[in-house]
């Protein structure tokens, strides 16, 4: 036997076997099923080709999927915008309900007052005149001089009316005058508007009165200067005006004054009450003992 001639043939056969094994291992790895290639090589080969075909199809149909995704994103964004609008509407409803509840609670506190509910619909045309326009007028029994309040406190006084609306001069306007009382010391005075600064000034407070910063100021219900002479008693007693934030005192003068922060935020005012009827304060006649004091 010629051993030299048999060696090349043996090497060639080994190469073929190794190549076949390599192909099988590659198919094992591509199909992920090592038993399927042995039991059903044709099916395994077809699965491998299907994987390659799907990859090619995906690369071709990719732009269509992108367009679909963009459409879905647009639809989702539209839905988000719609829900945000609905949430905003619900917040507005909740805010109005809260304001109405505050006004309702105010009516429970003072059942002796007759009121007309009004919405603030605008401001007057004069920028130097601090006022608001409400949607109640002479047709709703609203008259010049009537007091206007909110759930937080006194707003002002009716200044002009039409059949369906009224102009309300705010407390902070320079022509506003309200008889007032300090809640702690019980001293009285006149609260006037401070103009464009937004503060109030309480004048004619006795110098001997000890005014405390933070003290609440309310309407006294007594007669005094007002927007209209015939309406001097149009402010019921006990309506909150504001809080003392500063005291101006001079020993050389007979009276002192207090700077007051209004209780009402006039920029946020939307709802108010016009007080159409109430019982004015009647101090009654003083007897001899009181006069002697």
Reference 233, options 183, 178, 273, 274; nearest CA is: 178
**pTM for the predicted model, two decimal places:** 0.66
Of the two residues 143 and 94, the one the predictor is more confident about is 143
Asked if residue 45 is part of any domain, the answer here is: no
**CA pair distance 179, 220, nearest whole angstrom:** 6
Least confident piece of the model among 124-138, 146-160, 195-209, 278-292: 278-292
| 233-254: pLDDT as tens digits | 579 999 999 999 999 998 888 8
Asked if residue 253 is part of any domain, the answer here is: yes
Asked if residue 66 is part of any domain, the answer here is: no
The pLDDT confidence band at residue 101, using thresholds 50, 70 and 90, is confident
Indicate if the pLDDT at residue 155 is higher than 80: yes
Asked if residue 243 is part of any domain, the answer here is: yes
| 24-54: pLDDT as tens digits | 666 555 555 554 545 555 565 566 566 665 6
Instruction: Look at residue 71 in the predicted model and tell me its pLDDT.
Output: 85
Asked if residue 225 is part of any domain, the answer here is: yes
Asked if residue 214 is part of any domain, the answer here is: yes
Residue 127 in 3-state DSSP? coil
**Domain assignment of residue 169, given as a range:** 110-280
Reference 50, options 25, 32, 24; nearest CA is: 32
* Cα dist from 219 to 105, 122, 247, 283, whole Å: 19, 26, 19, 15
Of the two residues 125 and 137, the one the predictor is more confident about is 137
Indicate if the pLDDT at residue 85 is higher than 70: yes
The count of structural domains within the chain is 1
Instruction: Look at residue 148 in the predicted model and tell me its pLDDT.
Output: 97
Reference 150, options 170, 122, 164; nearest CA is: 170
First to last CA, the chain: 155
Asked if residue 124 is part of any domain, the answer here is: yes
Q: Are the CB atoms for 184 and 171 separated by under 8 Å?
A: no
Which CATH number do you get for residue 273?
2.40.10.340
Of the two residues 223 and 182, the one the predictor is more confident about is 182
Asked if residue 6 is part of any domain, the answer here is: no
What 8-state DSSP symbol labels residue 142? -
């Amino acid at each position: 036997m010629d051993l030299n001639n048999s060696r090349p043939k043996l090497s060639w056969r080994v190469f073929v076997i190794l190549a076949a094994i390599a192909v099988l291992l590659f198919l094992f790895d591509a199909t992920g099923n090592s038993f399927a290639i042995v039991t059903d090589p044709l099916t395994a080969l077809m699965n491998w080709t299907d994987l390659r075909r799907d990859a090619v199809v995906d690369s071709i149909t990719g732009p269509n999927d992108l367009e679909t995704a963009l459409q879905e994103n647009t639809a989702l964004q539209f839905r988000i915008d719609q829900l945000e609008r609905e949430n905003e509407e619900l917040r507005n409803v909740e805010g109005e309900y809260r304001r109405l509840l505050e006004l309702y609670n105010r009516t429970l506190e003072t059942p002796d007052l007759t009121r007309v509910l009004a919405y603030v619909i605008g401001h007057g045309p004069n920028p130097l005149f601090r006022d608001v326009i409400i949607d109640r007028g002479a047709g709703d029994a609203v008259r010049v001089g009537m007091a206007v309040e909110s759930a937080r406190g006194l707003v002002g006084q009716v200044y002009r009316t039409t059949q369906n609306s009224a102009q309300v001069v705010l407390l902070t306007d320079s022509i506003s005058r309200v008889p007032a009382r300090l809640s702690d010391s019980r001293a009285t005075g006149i609260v006037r508007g401070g103009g464009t600064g937004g503060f109030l000034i309480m004048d004619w407070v006795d110098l001997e009165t000890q005014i405390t910063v933070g003290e609440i100021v309310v309407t006294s219900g007594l007669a005094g200067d007002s927007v209209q002479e015939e309406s001097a008693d149009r402010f019921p007693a006990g309506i909150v005006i504001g809080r003392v934030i500063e005291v101006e005192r001079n020993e050389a003068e007979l009276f002192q004054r207090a700077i007051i922060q209004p209780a009402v935020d006039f920029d946020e005012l939307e709802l108010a009450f016009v007080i159409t009827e109430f019982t004015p304060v009647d101090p009654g006649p003083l007897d001899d003992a009181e006069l002697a004091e």
